Amino acid sequence: MRIAARFLIAVLIVLVLAGIALFFLRKPIVAAAAERILRGVGLEAPEVAVDEVSLTRLDVARLEAGGGAERGLDLRDVALFYDWRALLFDGKIRSIEISGGRVVAAFDDAGGMNIAGWSPDPNVKPAPPPFKTLKVGALDVIARTPKGDARLDTAGAFDYADGGEFRIGLASEGAGFATAAMSGASGEATLRFGAD
């Protein structure tokens, strides 16, 4: 009886210590898991700095990816809201909020796109996003083309079921491809998405 009691106490102590260790190490564990997932989808050298993590929310201070001096993906203050069961079993996120950042989309002459090492696979069928809502405070998108860069400043919100809108500002001294190009372009537009 004493041996069983000692064994049970030892197991409980190990579980408590493991729980305490997981609590204090949750940020680096989640950051490492996120970096592994981002590498798995094709992003080069992802780096994730986690501010806070709970059963319903993940706050990321910085998410960067891409090799070389210029990072192709640089997002700041990103918050993901989720139900932990839906995230774990279905890979679904309720909402993503991006306070700011920059994305560089490099295009080749054939129109192929690359963002921080990731390129869309033409053989993959389009699917609904794994989130319900996306909110963007201020995101600079640089379209790097063979004939120059076009800069898009975006902000807005989108709900997959209810729709939404994004404001987009465009500025470019010159950008394009051998078949089509623009120069001295600027303007603003609002994209509105209806309810699904």
Query: Which residues 6+ apart lie within 8 Å of 3 measured at CB?
Result: none
pLDDT 10s digits, 11-40: 667 766 676 666 666 788 888 888 898 888
Predicted pLDDT at 169: 94
The predicted structure's pLDDT at residue 34: 86
Higher-confidence residue of 155 and 13: namely 155
Query: What HEC string does the chain produce?
Result: CHHHHHHHHHHHHHHHHHHHHHHHHHHHHHHHHHHHHHHHCCCCCCEEEEEEECCCEEEEEEEEECCCCCCCEEEEEEEEECCHHHHHHHCCEEEEEEEEEEEEEEECCCCCEEECCECCCCCCCCCCCCEEEEEEEEEEEEEEECCEEEEEEEEEEEECCCEEEEEEEEEEEEEECCCCEEEEEEEEEEEEECCC
Task: Indicate the pTM of the whole model.
Answer: 0.80
Mean pLDDT of 141-169: 92
Closest to 62 in 3D by CA, of 71, 54, 132, 70 = 71
pLDDT 10s digits, 180-193: 888 888 999 999 98
